[in-house]
């Protein structure tokens, strides 16, 4: 039942790896699907002497959201683009309304800003908890002898019975905690995933005291789980797997658009905008014009364009391509995005860049956001408006920059004759799981996989841990 094969493995050597001196002893390892992540990710590895020497990542699905929106009412984008991803839809709503409001010259009220942050924060808490316990943790613990935990790789499982049991118990508790995060978000958002509350001009919701009380009660339970269970569990795992502080580093280039505006202009954010090169602590600014989305190895015909002038022209049979993900590069360089990038750039976490550092940064970020949400809840001014009437832009352009749990997210909108004339979306996993760029340089996760040990090529558990540390969201990446 195999489809026609129309993809070829790239040459073994990459831009920075061992120079190809592996003399025909390399083993090709294909992990397709890479499970416990969102969407369709094909991982192809070449290993030699028990280490990955080259990695190739394919995003294996394309729907066409950007082109679907052409000619549509720009306000519809907040609802449509959420359907890019059911794990992190709310950031797309946020980016869409920010882009539309920028085009219309509109600024929302402080109350609207806070409600948006609370619904978005709920999405982060659900997502980070889901990621650690239900997506990543099964890489490290003994699962139960029943589906969906069997079959499983049986490689390098170190936790003693007591600790393993603790993690299994917490896997179950985490199901409740992440559900409660969604329930809190639904109080203001109506439902999750896919809230209808984000509209140009603010939010539809008018919060009242009862909603605030319900939200606070749920948030307090989620917060207690994060601080008392999630954060210590990451420490426990890190203690058992210390070498994962050195595995999966990648380029060390980190980028964040920043998120959770703390004022109506967005000049102050809970997590700041910026980028660093090669693990530096010197945070540099971001020039959006430096971003190009390249497609030499992607199933698109577009040249490498900036999103402000970008197009998306699918070509499902393009020779030499191996992914539906484009290759965004900043100044020609690949960057990693996500919780570690945000926490590093914001100065909250700078222990290192690795598999375990990503888990640590994510758990600490969850705590930081949950505590901030409690503060924001107290800043709501009940009775003050959450919506501002406005005149839709008949023409113009706007950019919405925010962060999904998985990293920097941008929507580039252009309006002509009151309809969408261009819509370009740059998602976190585009950065992280991009294929090689026009110069043949590996994407962030492709690079991070190089050097990863593989004890048993039939059970590539170690590379899968590296993959999961990035929390890939493939539906976002391909959109």
Partner 1 sequence: MRISRRDFMRYAGAAAATLGLSGVELAQAAEVLASATSPAVIWLSGSGCTGCSVSLLNAVNPTIDQVLLNTISLKYHPNLMAGAGDLAVSAATSTATAGGHVLVIEGAIPTAADGRYCYVWSEAGSPVTMAQAVTAMAAKAIAVVAVGTCASFGGIPKAYGTAAAKGVGDHLGKPVINLPGCPAHPDWIVGSLVALLAGTSIALDSYRRPTAYYTPDTIHSRCPRREGEEMSRFGQKGLCLEELGCKGPSTHADCDRRLWNNRNGYCIGVDGLCIGCTEPTFPAFPLHRNGDD
450-469: contacts with partner 1 (CB under 8 A) = 459-460, 464
- Considering only 22, 187, 223, 444, the residue that binds partner 1 (CB under 8 A) is 187
Q: Which is nearer to partner 1, 193 or 258 (CB)?
A: 193
Scan residues 385-414 and list those touching partner 1 (CB under 8 A).
385-389
E strand map for 258-305: 259-261, 269-271, 274-276, 291-294
Ranges within 75-104 binding partner 1 (CB under 8 A): 75-76, 79-80, 83-87, 89
Nearer of residues 214 and 351 to partner 1, judged by Cβ: 214
Q: Which of 115, 267, 269 is nearest to 204 (CA)?
A: 115
Which has the closest alpha carbon to 55: 476, 466, 477, 474?
Answer: 466
Interface stretch with partner 1, choices 65-73, 371-379, 423-431, 441-449 (CB under 8 A): 65-73
Q: How far is the CB of 8 from partner 1 (least distance, A)?
A: 12
Question: Could you say which DSSP state residue 201 is in?
Answer: T
Q: Residue 339: name the closest of 286, 282, 405, 275 by CA.
A: 405
Report residue 474 as tokens. 């493939």
One residue of 165, 375, 384, 395 binding partner 1 per CB under 8 A: 165
CB 319 within 8 A of CB 208: no
Interaction between residue 316 and partner 1 (CB under 8 A): yes
Produce one character per residue of 310-336: b if its CB has 16 or more CB atoms within 10 Å, e if not: bebeeeeebeebbbbbbbbbbeebbbb
* Residue 308 and residue 399 in contact, taking contact as beta carbons nearer than 8 Å: yes
Q: Quick one: 158 or 191, whose CB is closer to partner 1? A: 191
By CB under 8 A, the residues from 318 to 347 that bind partner 1 are 324
Grouping H, G, I as helix, E, B as strand and the rest as coil, residue 381 is coil
Which residue of 38, 357, 365, 403 would you call a contact of partner 1, by CB under 8 A? Answer: 38
Distance set, CA 142 to CA 51, 172, 175, 347, 445 (Å): 24, 14, 18, 35, 26
Find the helix or strand (DSSP H, E) in which 327 lies: strand 327-330
Q: Which is nearer to partner 1, 179 or 371 (CB)?
A: 179
107 binds partner 1 (CB under 8 A): no
Q: How many residues bind partner 1 (CB under 8 A)?
A: 105
Q: Which is nearer to partner 1, 34 or 256 (CB)?
A: 34
The binder of partner 1 chosen from 10, 12, 34, 442 (CB under 8 A)? 34
Asked if 276 interacts with partner 1 (CB under 8 A), we say no
Pair 258, 401: CB distance under 8 Å: yes
Binding part of the chain for partner 1, among 11-19, 48-56, 144-152, 362-370 by CB under 8 A, reads 144-152
Q: Give the torsion sign (CA, 108, 109, 112, 114).
A: positive
Residue 443 interacts with partner 1 (CB under 8 A)? no
Site string for partner 1, 280-299 (x = CB under 8 A): -------------------x
Rounded-to-integer distance, Cα 95 and Cα 116, Å: 11
Nearer to partner 1, 258 or 428 (CB): 428
Question: Binder to partner 1 among 26, 27, 51, 63 (CB under 8 A)?
Answer: 63
Q: What angle do CA 213, 342, 119 make, to 5 degrees?
A: 25
Please identify which residue in 95, 118, 135, 343 interacts with partner 1, judged by CB under 8 A. Answer: 135
Find the shortest distance in angstroms from Cβ 398 to partner 1.
17
Interface with partner 1 in residues 189-208 (CB under 8 A): 189-197, 199, 201-206
């Amino acid at each position: 039942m195999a489809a026609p094969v129309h993809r070829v493995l790239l040459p073994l050597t990459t831009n920075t790896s061992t120079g190809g001196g592996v003399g025909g002893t390399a083993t090709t390892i294909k992990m397709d699907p890479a499970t416990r992540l969102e969407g369709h990710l094909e991982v192809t590895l070449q290993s030699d002497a028990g280490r990955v020497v080259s990695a190739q990542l394919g995003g294996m699905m394309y729907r066409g959201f950007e082109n679907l929106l052409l000619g549509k009412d720009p306000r519809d984008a907040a609802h449509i683009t959420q359907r890019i991803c059911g794990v992190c839809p709310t950031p797309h709503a946020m980016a869409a309304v920010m882009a539309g409001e920028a085009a219309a010259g509109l600024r929302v009220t402080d109350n609207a800003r806070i409600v948006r942050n609370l619904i978005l924060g709920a999405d982060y808490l659900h997502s980070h908890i889901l990621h650690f316990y239900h997506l990543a943790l099964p890489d490290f613990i003994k699962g139960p002898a029943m589906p969906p935990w069997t079959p499983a790789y049986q490689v390098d499982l170190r936790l003693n019975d007591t600790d393993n049991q603790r993690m299994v118990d917490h896997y179950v508790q985490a199901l409740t905690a992440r559900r409660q995060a969604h329930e809190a978000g639904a109080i203001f958002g109506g439902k999750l995933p896919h809230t209808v509350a984000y509209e140009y001009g603010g939010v539809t919701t008018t919060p009242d005291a009862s909603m605030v009380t319900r939200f606070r009660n749920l948030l307090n339970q989620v917060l207690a789980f994060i601080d008392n269970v999630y954060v210590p569990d990451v420490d426990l795992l890190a203690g058992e797997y210390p070498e994962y502080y050195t595995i999966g580093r990648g380029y060390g280039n980190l980028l964040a658009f920043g998120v959770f505006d703390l004022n109506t202009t967005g000049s102050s954010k809970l997590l700041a905008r910026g980028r660093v090169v090669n693990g530096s602590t010197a945070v540099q600014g971001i020039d959006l014009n430096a971003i190009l989305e390249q497609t030499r190895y992607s199933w698109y015909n577009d040249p490498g364009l900036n999103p402000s002038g970008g197009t998306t022209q699918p070509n499902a049979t393009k020779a030499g391509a191996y992914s539906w993900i484009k290759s965004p590069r900043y100044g020609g360089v690949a960057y990693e995005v996500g919780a570690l990038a945000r926490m590093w750039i914001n100065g909250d976490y700078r222990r290192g860049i690795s598999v375990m550092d990503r888990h640590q940064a994510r758990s600490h970020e969850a705590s930081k956001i949950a505590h901030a949400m409690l503060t924001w809840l107290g800043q709501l001014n009940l009775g003050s408006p959450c919506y501002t009437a406005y005149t839709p832009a008949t023409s113009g352009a706007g950019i919405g920059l925010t962060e999904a749990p998985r990293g920097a997210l941008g929507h580039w909108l252009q309006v002509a004759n009151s309809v969408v004339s261009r819509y370009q979306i740059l998602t976190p996993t585009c950065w992280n799981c991009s294929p090689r760029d026009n110069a043949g340089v590996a994407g962030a996760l492709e690079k991070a996989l190089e050097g990863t040990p593989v004890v048993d090529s039939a059970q590539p558990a170690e590379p899968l841990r590296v993959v999961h540390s990035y929390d890939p969201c493939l539906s976002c990446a391909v959109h």
